[in-house]
Chain A
């Protein structure tokens, strides 16, 4: 029995990227193909998710070479969930791009590159081979370089240089780590590595390799001392690009961290201490960074960093409930962050600025939009019935159990600052009577857009808000899903058996 379905999310994105390259000259055709492709991909991801949910982990050996010699693709429930979330965010951003991205950017191949980015994300989630993971990471970063620079404005290029340098450095560190790991074990298959690394007697070398992985993935995930590229670059590209970056790119680093540190490098006390302290510091520094900013997109950028801390914290605590909390937070965060950057895109379209000082009066003029925007904003804080509340609860309870009050302090501090920042944003952007702004000439204000473009901006936000509400009110389902993921992650034997057929 060969499970072709594992590869479908990858292949379908590749196929649509190629089709989009053929349609290079017709922007209108490209938009329709892209949206259609994302819908197909969403359908396939749902199919994959349901199959994995009922049948358990599936694997496929690319090229029919037996594991551990060939490249294995593994769809366990964790990977399938993330592929599903990628498809959801991808569809939303694809529609949003159709309404907001300038024609000139489409002319330079925005949409094909966007689909190559989704291809890389799906590949990174589904692969079971550490070097293949590196290749998918490269596909992701090359596509993201193009997306961040496309258009070639001054701030974009400046931001791109910072983004580019740090991400390549991260890849090089990752490659170095793979080289050392290959030298130690002679294998690249992650399940096989898990068995072989456990047997190595020279634990010092293993710990150093683990640290290299932590730094390499840490730069991509934007954890405490390694995040400075993120606020310097994320606010430069157009909002649609920010949405996909903020929603998924840092999360793929978190995914890799969770995968590697629950499968290959397990049970190193030294690492747990490091990860926990990094998590606390990430929470603290991201929150403080968000506190002092005035530009709403920069605030969201710092909040990304801050909330990465929650997921790293769950990984560091390393109990079943804590990992379930981290996974729940990951699921919630992808949807909410994508939506938040689209919200900021809509605010920008209405007012022509990101600065909180100049914004204001949105609630008076656009009450329905304000209601729409309040959902991601309040989910982010974690007001009880909404989605951010449940994972934080799990993380705090678990921190109590190990009695580390510094961590509880960091979590509460980060949550409180998020609340404060969002409340301030609410009063500044929505309630305050804003100053009268000078009309920017040649700027496509929201009021000037035609009906189709308006719909293309609103529909994805409504869609993601519904998903967000479901995560909040259907928390029981998501909790069951994340507990199952946590059980699978904590017992890496299950993954190894599925891959190596033992």
Chain B
């Protein structure tokens, strides 16, 4: 699938899709969206890039193996989950919120960090799956 159209388009689609995935991630608390969908969109961005430019180039672009993203994301989600236990002695996974809303993002709380963790895990898992299947095919 090495057509010039896809190749050119993928160059612009990659940042656009990544930006869109972050947008989906951030709106996820009250509206449709969230970490899982955002992560899938982000991995689609890389998959489109891999279709157009080949697997090797995509790996160079990512620099690290996507498998390394899994423990990082899990750790972020885990810390977000246990943070209320240490901050205010509330049960696991209770929402902890900053008092003031941040510009652009809005209210920030442990739920957002949990979603970021999920986002990273999903990117790591789906890219690992797709890369492994592509390599062995």
Answer yes or no: A15 CB below 8 A from chain B CBs.
yes
How many angstroms from the CA of A21 to the CA of B94 in the assembled complex? 26
Given the complex of chains A and B, what is the CA–CA distance between A63 and B74 in angstroms?
18
Beta-carbon nearest neighbor of B74 in chain A: A18
Q: Is the CB of A11 within 8 A of B93?
A: no
Which residue of chain A is the closest to B89 with respect to CB atoms? A2
Contact A62 B78 (CB under 8 A): no
Count, chain B residues at interface, CB 8 A: 16
Task: Give bound CA distance, A338 to B84, whole Å.
Answer: 37
Q: How far is the CA of A63 from the CA of B75 in the complex (A)?
A: 18
Partner of A64, one of B67, B78, B90: B90
Report Cα–Cα, A458/B85, bound state, in Å.
Answer: 40
A7 at the interface (CB under 8 A from B): yes
Q: Distance (Å) between the CB of A15 and the closest chain B CB?
A: 7
Q: Which residues of B contact A60 (CB under 8 A)?
A: 91-92
Residue in A11, A21, A24, A62 whose CB lies within 8 Å of B74: A21
In this assembly, does B70 line the interface, its C-beta being within 8 Å of a C-beta of chain A?
A: yes
Q: Please give, as numbers and ranges, the residues of chain B lying within 8 Å of A24 by CB-CB distance.
A: 67, 71
How far is A24 from B92 in the complex, measured between Cα atoms in Å? 27
Q: A4-B85, A21-B70, A22-B71 are in contact. Are A61 and B91 (CB under 8 A)?
A: yes
Give min CB distance, B92 to chain A, whole Å.
5
Nearest-CB distance from A310 to chain B (Å)?
36
Is A184 located at the chain interface by the 8 A CB criterion? no
Chain A residues with CB below 8 A from B44, complex form: none
A2 / chain B contacts, CB cutoff of 8 Å: 89-91
Q: Which residues does chain A contribute within 8 Å of B71, judged by CB atoms?
A: 18, 21-22, 24
**B37 contacts chain A at the CB level, 8 A cutoff:** no
Residue of B nearest to A4 (CB): B85
Q: Is the CB of A7 within 8 A of B70?
A: no
Type the 1/0 row for B63-92, where 1 means its CB is closer than 8 Å to any CB of A. 000010011001100100010110001111
Complex CA distance for A249 and B70, rounded to whole angstroms: 26
Interface centre among B71, B78, B82 (most CB of A within 10 A): B71
B92 neighbours in A (Cβ, 8 Å): 4, 7, 11, 60, 62-63
Report yes or no: A64 in contact with B91, Cβ–Cβ below 8 A: yes
Q: Do A64 and B94 touch across chains, with their CB atoms under 8 A apart?
A: yes
Judge whether B95 is part of the interface by a CB distance below 8 angstroms: yes
Among B84, B89, B94, max chain A CB count under 10 A is at: B94
Task: Give the complex CA separation of A64 and B134 in angstroms.
Answer: 43
> Within B51-66, which residues are at the interface with A (CB < 8 Å)?
none
How far apart are A117's CB and chain B's nearest CB, in angstroms? Answer: 16
A14 touches B (CB below 8 Å)? yes
**Would you give the shortest CB distance from B122 to chain A, in whole angstroms?**
15
Grouping DSSP codes into helix (H, G, I), strand (E, B) and loop, the B interface class, with mixed when no group exceeds half, is helix
Interface 0/1 of A1-43, CB less than 8 Å to B: 0101001000100110010011010000000000000000000
Chain A nearest CB: distance from B77 CB in Å? 9
In angstroms, Cα B84 to Cα A258, docked, is 34
CB < 8 Å: which of B78, B89, B95 contacts A63? B95
Measured between C-beta atoms, what is the minimum distance from A13 to chain B in Å?
11
A296 CB, nearest partner CB in chain B, Å: 36
A142 to B78, CA, bound (A): 20
B87 to chain A, nearest CB (A): 13
Residues of chain B lying within 8 A (CB to CB) of residue A11? 78, 82, 92
What A residues does B85 contact at CB under 8 A?
Answer: 4
* Alpha-carbon gap, A452 to B67, bound state (A): 32
Instruction: Please indicate the chain A residues that have their CB under 8 angstroms from the CB of B67 in the complex.
Output: 24
CB-CB nearest in chain A for B70: A21
What residues on B are CB-neighbors of A22 within 8 Å? 71, 75
- B70 / chain A contacts, CB cutoff of 8 Å: 21
Q: Which residues of B contact A21 (CB under 8 A)?
A: 70-71, 74
How many angstroms between the C-alpha atoms of A2 and B89 in the bound complex? 8
- C-alpha gap A157/B103 in the complex (Å): 53
- Cα A246 to Cα B91 in complex, Å, equals 34
Given the interface contacts A18-B74, A22-B71, does A62 sit within 8 Å of B82 by beta carbon? no
Q: Min CB distance, A237 to chain B, in Å?
A: 21
Contact partner of A14 among B78, B84, B93, CB < 8 A? B78
Closest to A11 in B: B82
Give the docked Cα–Cα distance between A76 and B82 (Å).
23
In the complex formed, the residue of B with least CB distance to A22 is B71
Q: Please pick, from B78, B89, B90, the residue contacting A18 in the complex, using a CB distance under 8 A.
A: B78
Bound Cα distance from A62 to B89, whole angstroms: 12
Instruction: Say how far A59's CB is from chain B's closest CB, in angstroms.
Output: 10
CA distance in complex: A242, B116 (Å): 37
- A63 vs B85: C-alpha distance when bound (angstroms): 10
Residues of A near B93 (CB, < 8 A) are 62-63
| CB nearest neighbor in A for B90 | A64
- Given A18-B74, A21-B70: A63 in contact with B91 (beta carbons within 8 A): yes
Q: Tell me the bound Cα distance from A62 to B94 in angstroms.
A: 7
CA distance A18 to B74 in the complex (A): 7
Q: Which of A337-387 contact B (CB under 8 A)?
A: none
Q: Which partner residue on chain A sits nearest B71 by CB separation?
A: A21
A64: chain B residues within 8 A (beta carbon) = 84, 90-91, 94
Pairs A-B, 9 closest by C-beta atoms? A21-B71, A64-B94, A63-B93, A18-B74, A62-B93, A22-B71, A64-B91, A7-B92, A60-B91
A-B contact pairs, 7 of them (CB 8 A): A2-B91, A4-B89, A7-B91, A63-B91, A63-B92, A64-B90, A64-B94
Question: What 15 new A-B contacts, CB under 8 Å, besides A14-B78, A64-B91?
Answer: A2-B90, A4-B85, A4-B89, A4-B91, A4-B92, A7-B91, A11-B92, A21-B71, A22-B71, A22-B75, A24-B71, A62-B92, A62-B93, A63-B92, A64-B94
